Amino acid sequence: MNFLEGKKVLVTGGTGSLGQSLIRRILSGEKGKPARVTVFSRDEAKQHYMRLAFLHRTAATDDIIYQNSQDLLNFRIGDVRDYSALLGAMQGIDVVFHAAALKQVPSCEYFPFEAVLTNICGAQNVVRAIRENSLPIEKVVGISTDKACKPINVMGMTKALQERILIEANLDRPDTSFVCVRYGNVIASRGSIVPLFVEQVKNRQPLTVTLKEMTRFLLSLDKAVDTVFAALADGIGGETFIPKVASAKMTDVARVLMGREELPIIYTGIRPGEKVHEIMVSEEECFRTVERGDYYVIMPTLPELRRRQDFTPALGGEYSSKDDNISLDALAKLLGDADGEIARFMTAVG
């Protein structure tokens, strides 16, 4: 389905790991050729290097900057905290992917109000821009996290409220559909444990794991983008899409990545705000969760937004990373399939 054909697309936080993968897939034309794709983020350095990478250039010349407004992919400096800057970026847009976030768990614990300003107020600014200016935006996809489910850390708490703000917006904006996606640990992304393990193995250092019992959901960047596209194509206003993905013990991930190397594993203790196990669908949410292909879909908590009342719940309990952990062989295949993404990430940061 070419649901992006001829559309003007905005990606907030477009210089992040997910943002860049999402934009790469959008520009491939697999979902239709968009009329324009705009990256909106506050980091000019990341935008600069992203622009060069997408143009296959090693150095910038003036024409790259001056011709930016005429390119299919263009860049705008701005912060989702800044309503006026965000409103300017949203003018004439058809589809918004809201990926801007503070997502490092310890950072959010030490600077909680900064997380509030970006993760909560940023989402509210997206809604406010549409609501107060009657912007004819067709769909907004908010990018959330498993940490928003039964949150115990600031990052998860702010993301849970982000979800609620976007879902509630469906009540008075019938011409715009607001949907969310929630997923786990992206294997090759900033803050993921996998690139850290790869670097430690490369340098023959001990591998650091917080707790022996620690588990996480694992998915590739491409699977994360697939989830975003599924929500865009099939999501009804107020729904939250959850991918069906593998979960694994972090000690198993460490062992698979060290291969034949005999490196020690050091247990460093749980970090500020960290969970032992992640949950993507809570026991309270499972009773309004349905199955849609490769995804679980949580219907909105607000009854006014539920299109269906006659459904059979897809889950009988919470969807947690502590359950059904995959074998070492299956984990090795999963990480092997994501090897290209991990290599690109290590090259980008190294």
Question: Which residues are identified as catalytic?
Answer: 147
Q: List, as one string, the DSSP characters of 282-313.
A: -TTTGGGEEEETTEEEEPPSSGGG-S-SS---
Question: What is the maximum alpha-carbon separation in the chain?
Answer: 61
The 8-class DSSP code of residue 327 comes to: P
Query: Hey, how many other C-beta atoms are within 10 angstroms of the C-beta on 212?
Result: 11
Helix, coil or strand: residue 259:
coil
Task: For residues 109 and 225, give the distance between their C-alpha atoms in angstroms, rounded to a whole number.
Answer: 28
The 8-class DSSP code of residue 274 comes to: -
Backbone angles phi, psi at 237, to 5 degrees: -45, 125
H runs (alpha helix) in 55-153 = 62-66, 83-90, 105-110, 112-115, 121-133
Task: For residues 255 and 206, give the distance between their C-alpha atoms in angstroms, rounded to a whole number.
Answer: 11
Tokens linked to 150: 């039964």
Q: Which helix (H) or strand (E) holds 142?
A: strand 139-145
97, amino acid identity = F
Q: Print burial letters for 230-269: b (CB count within 10 Å at least 16), e (below 16).
A: bbbebbbbbbbbbbbbbbbbbbbbbbbbbeeeebebeeee
211 contacts: CB under 8 Å, gap ≥ 6: 250, 267, 269, 270, 276
